[in-house]
Amino acid sequence: MSETSASDAAFCAGLVREHDFDRYASTLFVAPEIRRALLSLYAFNVEVTRIRDLVSQPLPGEVRLQWWHDALSGLAHGGVEGNPVAAELLSTVQRFGLPVERLTRLIDEHQFDLYNDPMPTMAALDAYLSDTSGALFGLAARLVAGSFETVDHLAHHAGVALGLMQLISSLPRDAAHRQLYIPLELLARHGVVGQEEMFAGKVTPAIQQMLADLRGQARQHLDHTLELAREAPPAVRPALLPLALVRRDLAQADRRAGDPFQPAARSRLATLWTLWRAARSASFRSR
């Protein structure tokens, strides 16, 4: 490994460790060469998802997303070699033959983040989570196990399970930014009076019921993913390790119903302990 290459890999690892500790910690339980590839993928995801926090208007965000589009299609003019995340990601794509189309669809879906338009329906949310969180699971699965028949189906359910729990945990931040990922369709189903009731940040029985509904859906997707994983190549299971945190958080939520508008971050120690135990279990062990 060249000095520049090692520096790029270290940059990606540090970026994921700082901004996405759950996925960073999950890579500690795979082989070093696969870990590096996973970290390049997760660092790319960090760069794309935090664009909304780095811009004050949608247009600069669109420009940044387009840069990533161009980088993946080989059209970027300058800067790619000087961008450690792009360099690592392109190396991973070439070495493992990853489908670029899955990466560009992920970029396209994150255009939604740049605007304050509400998520309209559960079908729209399902598609958003499948092409963002689900895409990461699908690409990670290909890194650890290669392509197999049910990889996209498994990744879809994994992505929705994790995405729903992330949506619930990010509710305080999203409400403060007057951004809503919970579909209007679901609000209406549970009698939540539009976006303003969510943005007010006050807990109501209707909001509690709605969040319980989301957790129930997350649990269904989680269970289905683990069923599919039992029939898939065992090598894929370490790529699903972040789901162990979904299982833990669902169990915690069942035991105590706190204020969903108050941040309740899981400690890094709890994250590491949960993943260590899961990595030794049949559900997530590769052999």
pLDDT value for 45: 98
Looking at the domain assignment, is residue 129 inside a domain? yes
Q: Which domain holds residue 282?
A: 116-287
DSSP assignment string, 128-167: HHHHTHHHHHHHHHHHHH---TTHHHHHHHHHHHHHHHHH
**Are residues 154 and 229 located together in one domain of the fold?**
yes
Q: pTM score > 0.85 for this model? A: yes
**Are residues 78 and 142 located together in one domain of the fold?**
no
| CB within 8 Å of 71: residues ≥ 6 apart | 80, 83, 86, 90
Q: Output 286 or 112, whichever has higher pLDDT.
A: 112
**Are residues 86 and 221 located together in one domain of the fold?**
no
C-alpha angle with apex 231: 225 to 237, nearest 5 degrees? 60
Q: What is the pLDDT of residues 130-150, one digit of tens each?
A: 999 999 999 999 999 999 999
129/121 Cα distance (integer angstroms) = 13
Looking at the domain assignment, is residue 110 inside a domain? no
Looking at the domain assignment, is residue 104 inside a domain? no
The count of domains in the chain is: 2
241/275 Cα distance (integer angstroms) = 7
Looking at 63, 98, 133, which one is the last position of a domain?
98
Q: What is the pLDDT of residues 69-110, one digit of tens each?
A: 999 987 655 556 689 999 999 999 999 999 999 999 999 999
**Are residues 35 and 140 located together in one domain of the fold?**
no
pLDDT classification of 270: cutoffs 50, 70, 90: very high
Give the three-class secondary structure for 30.
coil
**Are residues 251 and 121 located together in one domain of the fold?**
yes
Q: What is the pLDDT of residues 184-221, one digit of tens each?
A: 999 999 999 888 889 988 889 999 999 999 999 999 99
| CA distance readout (Å), 238 to 46, 137, 140 | 20, 11, 9
Q: What is the pLDDT of residues 254-267, one digit of tens each?
A: 776 678 888 778 89
89/96 Cα distance (integer angstroms) = 11
